[in-house]
Amino acid sequence: MEELVIRPSTKFIRLGYAAVILLIIGAATAQNQFKDKFPESWPPWVLAAVFALLLLWPASRHWRQRFTKMTMIGDKLRYETGMLSKSTRTIQLSKVQDVTVRQTLGQRMGGIGDLSIETAGESSRLTFPNIDRPQVIADRIIDESHKIGVRGILDEPKETKG
């Protein structure tokens, strides 16, 4: 089986960048149009700088997104998150019981959704937010889970005595 790497979508992050850049352009334009009404003690760059701080919001989400991924390889599904400290959760595909796709109206319009994977075990639900084509990914996970269940592929090969 080929390796499948799934990452959160950047569609809403790009939309956030565009909105903030439009705000910065609008602030700069407004400042130029209404120079007389601003206090003279303010440097000309203050208003644009205040809106430029808003760039931290999409930038932080983008950074977090870059260090989150789910990889399906062999009979395992691995969910990794974190930049400096990393958290990894590995799920055997044979243990997958249910895969659910949830989409808000905005997510449906953008073609993204949240993928929830339920397994047999203690921490039974893993939710991976904002992925592109969530139903295609859900179907692929379920198909691979069923193939593994039918073939009886195990995590580690058993040693044979002989």
H/E element holding 128?
Answer: strand 125-132
Query: Which amino acid belongs to residue 43?
Result: P
Give me the pLDDT at residue 99, please.
92
Give me the pLDDT at residue 150, please.
64
Alpha carbons 31 and 24: distance in angstroms, whole number = 10
Architecture (CATH level 2) of domain 76-151 = Roll (2.30)
Q: How confident is the model at residue 147 (pLDDT cuts 50, 70, 90)?
A: confident
H/E element holding 87?
Answer: strand 87-92
Give me the pLDDT at residue 52, please.
74
Q: Which residues of 16-41 are buried (b: 16+ CB within 10 A; e: fewer)?
A: bbeebeebbeebeeebeeeeeeeeee
DSSP string, 27-75: HHHHHHHTGGGS-TTS-TTHHHHHHHGGGHHHHHHHHHHHTEEEEEETT
**Higher-confidence residue: 77 or 149?**
77
27-76 pLDDT per residue, tens? 778 777 776 666 566 676 776 677 778 888 888 888 888 899 999 998 89
73-99 pLDDT per residue, tens? 988 999 999 988 999 998 888 888 899
Tokens of 49: 């700088």
Q: Is the pLDDT of residue 154 over 60?
A: no
**Higher-confidence residue: 23 or 18?**
18
Domain ranges (residues) in the chain: 76-151
5 bridge partner residues = 71
Contact yes or no for 13/20 (Cβ under 8 A): no
Give me the pLDDT at residue 42, please.
67
- For the whole prediction, is pTM greater than 0.85? no
